[in-house]
Structures are given as structure tokens and as C-alpha cells.
Amino acid sequence: MDNKKCIVVFLTEDGAETYDGKPLMLQDALFCPILTWCMRAWMKKGVRRFFVISPEEYLDEVTACFPPECAAVAGTEEDYQRDIGEFARGCWIEEVREAMLPVGSMMLSFHTVAELVQLQRAVKEEIAMFHQRTGVKVLDMDSTYIDPRVTIGAGTVILPGTILRGNTVIGENCEIGPNAMITGCEIGDGCVVNASQVNESVLGREVHVGPYAHIRPGCRIGDGCKVGAFVEIKNAVFGPGTKMSHLTYVGDADVGAGVNFGCGTITSNYDGFRKHRTVIGDHAFIGCNTNLVPPVTVGEGAYIAAGTTVTKDIEPDALAISRVRQENKPGWAKARREMHRKK
């Protein structure tokens, strides 16, 4: 264990070839900055103290790479000369002056983005093999990309085309993919995410998502919910057992348990200046092609008839209907065709 070591990383000496001018240690490998990879590898060996010398414009990015449980400082060369004596007191210093990436038990150096791409292939396979050893079934390692910060429970199947990013936690016995991307999420046991994107949200147990669904940040989806084909949700909370099977948009909403959304339902949450929330009680039935114009509350057990635009609150167990009465005009269509000389 190296708990008496202080590692000093000199990003200021990284003058190697990059596409954007950013130091190589701040480039991404599998969606995660190289510096974060290194921090994690060093901490596994017991190192808890780091000083990173960086150009001033990248100090915030460097700080974001520090795990919360380590003692770390990001600063300029001037900061280093002034503070390292006190910061590293009682520790011996190891200096790192070239970019490197942990591969297996080794730290391999690289000097160009092209070399990084080669190393990334190796760590990509290494991450997939790690999850295989812990009981995860990765069906096609060549078409699967897993961030090193991702945690996956045993029994979960990762299908081809899946991309897992950020501090994502996936439970046991899930099925993810094909062609799914999950970023910064917490996914409960037994979930299915099929050909969909899920971002910075929480899914309970046995939630079914997709195909072709888009879950945007800020959603909390209860156990047993369904977010079906061509459904988009954003900044919304859903109680257990609520279902949106297809063609629905729900944004800025608080939805109870057991609610059924018919296809074509939308919340008109933005008035051009501000966002407004919709509140829907337990076991409400939202008919097809419903427009909910918030701020509005739908009471528990209420029923909204298909084709209704809701602009005022609905009492519990009430029926809401706002259709224009249908009128049929015999012969109108034929006369119109004749007027335009169409058969």
C-alpha cells in the first residue's frame, strides 16, 4: 500500500499531438477522462494524495477527475512551487510527466491521440471481460462500449450496440440493448432497455423501456412502469405500474401509480417563457390524443376522453371531455372534388 506517496502529475509538460489542444491526460477513453482512469488505478494501490499541475483554463476539468475520497489539489506551476512542501509533508513524491493509461496492472505511456486509440481498444476488452467474470453476459464485446465507472449486476445481459456511460449503476438480471445508450443512471433489477436512450434518471425494478424511447434527465420511474415505443419523458416522476405504451410526451410532471396514457398524449409544459408542471393522481386514465395544458391537476381515478384538451383541473373519478360535436355534411367531399375538377 502506498498511503505515504504523493503523486504529482505535470499536465503542463504534455505538448503531444491532440486534435483540440487539450492535454492528453484530459482526453477521454471510453467516455472517461484519462486522468480519472489513472486516479482510480493509483487509489487501488493505496495512494490517496495527488497534486496536478495544469494550464489554468483546465483546472475545473482536472478537479472533476478527483474521487471524493482522495486528497487532491489542482493548480498552476506557481501554486505547485508554493504549496507542495506543505501538501506532501510526510510523503515521498512520485512525478508523472507523460500521459499514461492503466492497462491491466501496468501504466502504459502514450504520446499521441492515435496511440491512445490503440490503448483504448485494449481497455475496452478488459472492461468487458471484467464484467463477464462477475456474471454479466456481454454478447458482443466488439460492439459494446462500457465506461470504467459503470457497475453492472450479475445475470444482466448486454446486447450488441450498447453504450454505457458515466456513473451508471445497473441492477441484476436486466436486459440492455440492442442499440441502447445509458448515461449517468440508476437502473433497478430486472429492467429492459431496448433500442433507447436513458439519461441521468432513476428506474425502479422491472421497468420496460423501448424500443425507440427517450428518457431525458431528471426522471424517476417507479417499479413495473412501461415507457414504450416513441415515448419521450423529461423531468418527471412516475408511480409504480404506470404505462405509456407509445407515441407520448410527458415533461415536467408528477404522475401517480397505475396511470394509463393513451397514444398521442402530450403535456404542453412550455408556454414560450416558463415551464409548468402537470399533476396526475393514481389510476387516472388518459385517453388517446389528450393535450394536458399545465398548470393542471388530474384527480385520482379520473377519466379523460380521447381527443380532449385539458385546461382546468379535473376532480377525482370525474370524466373530462372537450370534443367539438361531430357534424357530417352529405356530398360535401364530392362537390369539392368537382369544383377542383378532380375525379
Q: Which of 19, 39, 18 is nearest to 100 (CA)?
A: 39
**CA quadruple 152, 157, 162, 168: dihedral, nearest 10:** -20
Q: Which of 182, 206, 296, 189 is nearest to 250 (CA)?
A: 296
Continuous segment of H or E residues that includes residue 60: helix 59-64
Written as nine digits, the cell of 22 is 487539450
User: Look-up: residue for cell 486522468?
Assistant: 35
d(C-alpha 180, C-alpha 201), whole Å? 15
Q: Please return the burial class of 286, using the count of CB atoms within 10 Å of its CB with bins 0-12, 13-18 and 19+.
A: buried
The region, left, alpha or beta by phi > 0 then psi within -120 to 50, assigned to residue 90 is left
d(C-alpha 262, C-alpha 174), whole Å? 27
User: CA dist 302 to 154, 248, 251, Å?
Assistant: 41, 19, 20
Continuous segment of H or E residues that includes residue 120: helix 113-133
Other beta carbons within 10 Å of 120: 19
- Is 214 a catalytic site residue? no
Written as nine digits, the cell of 280 is 396526475
Other beta carbons within 10 Å of 274: 7
Active-site residue identified among 246, 276, 283, 340: 246
Catalytically active residues are 246
